Amino acid sequence: MAAGNGPWMALALLTLLAGLQTPALSEVSVQPNFKQDQFLGRWFTKGLASNATWFQEKKAKLSMCKSVVTAAEDGALNLTVTYFRNTQCHVWNLLLEPTGTPGHYRYYKPKWGSNHDVLVVETDYDRYAMFITQSTNVPGKELFMATLYTRSQNPVAERELNEKFRSFAHSQGFTDEAIVFLHKADKCIDDQ
């Protein structure tokens, strides 16, 4: 849920896009039998892949964010992202509206005039989730971001999850240069 990638999504919306070949969102499938109630709770952003030009410049400086997903009215999700930047903790909130397909959500950011589709592609609910976000803010230009969420900053079988995400990102058209695994933040996101 890029949404779990909130601060980085905001940066991406302000940049030009790289020419990465990524599949159309219509070619991406959501988690079969997605169970929203099991998806709720705390997640950490462990991996990212993006076709945004800013990503290559900033990826070495990125660190984990903590996202808390709670149920909202009418099947929507509240997403609260906490991250550390410029010596301060920041919080970013958004509402993910259901699209009618379980695991597929949409939100709109009036500040940038941008539409965002978020698809939960794979999750075991207990350890990890992988999703893809497509954002459109300029006609003809689209941002794609793949995200790996984990329930812990130090997930069990971390190497296996990283390889699973790398394969997922490759299947979405991202190269190794477009993939980053994030280090733990020193502040703002505890495991509590």
Q: Is residue 99 part of a domain?
A: yes
**Residue span of the structural domain in which 47 resides:** 6-17+37-181
**Other beta carbons less than 10 A from residue 27's beta carbon:** 8
Q: Is residue 31 part of a domain?
A: no
CATH number at residue 101: 2.40.128.20
User: Which positions ≥6 away from 9 have C-beta within 8 Å?
Assistant: 2, 3, 116, 133, 135, 145
Q: Is residue 187 part of a domain?
A: no
Q: How many domains does the chain have?
A: 1
DSSP 31: P
- The rounded distance, in Å, linking the Cα atoms of 160 and 138 is 37
Q: What are phi and psi of 191, to 5 degrees?
A: -85, 5
pLDDT band of residue 138 (cuts 50, 70, 90) is low
Please identify which of the residues 12, 65, 94, 132 carries the catalytic annotation. 65
Q: Is residue 149 part of a domain?
A: yes
CB-CB contact of 167 with 63 (8 Å): no
* pLDDT higher than threshold 80 for residue 105: yes
Q: Is residue 25 part of a domain?
A: no
Q: Is 89 a catalytic residue?
A: no
Q: What angle do CA 89, 157, 130 make, to 5 degrees?
A: 60
pLDDT band of residue 25 (cuts 50, 70, 90) is low
What pLDDT was estimated at residue 15?
A: 32
Q: Is residue 23 part of a domain?
A: no
Q: pTM to 2 decimals?
A: 0.82
Q: Is residue 177 part of a domain?
A: yes
For 55-88, the pLDDT digits (tens) are 778 888 888 999 999 999 999 999 999 988 778 8
Q: Is residue 113 part of a domain?
A: yes
